[in-house]
Structure 1
């Protein structure tokens, strides 16, 4: 009597496909990514991949959503309890990026997000929408020059990490984070930014 085969867990298959797509994008970039290469790397047939993601756009869109959802959850966890804290969202955004460890696969996926944003206007628009939604939610605390400075500094840290820049070592990173955290303590203005009043 033959033992019945267990069906694949669809969620596990989707996760494996996204994991493999992420690795291929980090190693080779977004443009060379093909469904065949992802299916081969994941150990599934191309038909099996198409069952879950009916095209390259659907696959990369699923990966983008997964990474942004993870990043959003990290920022949410890093928000300070005091909802009136100046630059509350921007501080959390900075802390999450400053704490990224590119040796951790889940966190390395943020490199995928950067590559997507740098090569596809569609993903840039979706990312900007996420940021604008967050800024609208935190408009009482994050529409200031201080908040903008923290976010732009965080984006610079991201790019430094992607290129393994000289400011990416942990000691330097801690010094930069502490300096940025202390900015408002040194008398930096926290007045609303007139350019973002309409958000």
Structure 2
């Protein structure tokens, strides 16, 4: 006697599919396209099924933000060099991840989602700034120099260029920019009591 295979309910997989569909809508059509109805349709579930996992549009957007930041953080962590006293250690990894983003890869389009969210909602800007502040406190011994800040600002500029499809978004040019920035001397990893003596 054959038994019918039972379909297993996988809430985690469904939540991920809902978030991926939400991300795709934002990338392809902009933030205004993110509605519960559109996400449910793209994910192949009812609106009620979506609301079972995310009780409101704000909850869905919050889940999407958390997913993207967690993904970005994991990429940066993987890129951080093992030498704990390497100057600008976190900032180098931050730059490397953003400079190596391939917008043709669906998972990597998540950074476009994040920058769109940050540009449209002060609440998420504040949450992003808190995340960055937390990481900088974690790496305060290596990433407080002006060069470290310059690397992060350059990375943010590349990110913005990607979003607008600017001329520097071409992968070959991005590679040149990354190579140049990584050759710059970031200065000492930690400051000393006389670091600013003489106005230097």
Q: Same fold (TM over 0.5)?
A: yes
Q: Aligned partners of 2:35, 2:3: CA distance in 1, in Å?
A: 37
Mapping of residues 12-51 of structure 1, within 5 Å: 12-51=13-52
Q: Name the counterpart of 1:149.
A: 150
Q: Name the counterpart of 1:10.
A: 11
Q: Aligned partners of 2:64, 2:138: CA distance in 1, in Å?
A: 25
| Count of equivalent residues | 189
| 2:159 equivalent to 1:158 | yes
| 2:83 equivalent to 1:82 | yes
Q: Name the counterpart of 2:118.
A: 117
Q: Aligned partners of 1:7, 1:45: CA distance in 2, in Å?
A: 18
Q: After the TM superposition, which of the residue ranges 56-65 and 22-31 deviates more from structure 2?
A: 22-31
| 2:101 equivalent to 1:100 | yes
Q: Name the counterpart of 2:195.
A: none
Report how far residue 32 of structure 1 moved. Answer: 3.5
Q: Aligned partners of 2:111, 2:80: CA distance in 1, in Å?
A: 19
Structure 1, unaligned runs of 5 or more? 193-199
Report how far residue 70 of structure 1 moved. Answer: 0.7
Report how far residue 2 of structure 1 moved. Answer: 8.7
Question: What is the TM-score normalised by the length of structure 1?
Answer: 0.90
Q: Name the counterpart of 2:198.
A: none
Report how far residue 182 of structure 1 moved. Answer: 1.0
Q: Name the counterpart of 2:130.
A: 129
For the 8 Å contact 2:54–2:60, the answer to whether it is kept is yes
Residues 52-73 of structure 1, C-alpha deviations (whole Å, 9 max, x = no match): 0000011111111111101101
SS in 1 for 2:168: coil
For the 8 Å contact 2:17–2:43, the answer to whether it is kept is yes
Q: Aligned partners of 2:61, 2:47: CA distance in 1, in Å?
A: 15
User: How well do the aligned residues superpose, as a CA RMSD in angstroms?
Assistant: 1.6
Q: Name the counterpart of 1:169.
A: 170
Structure 2, unaligned runs of 5 or more? 192-200
> Stretches of 4+ moved more than 3 A in 1?
1-5, 188-192
Report how far residue 89 of structure 1 moved. Answer: 0.3
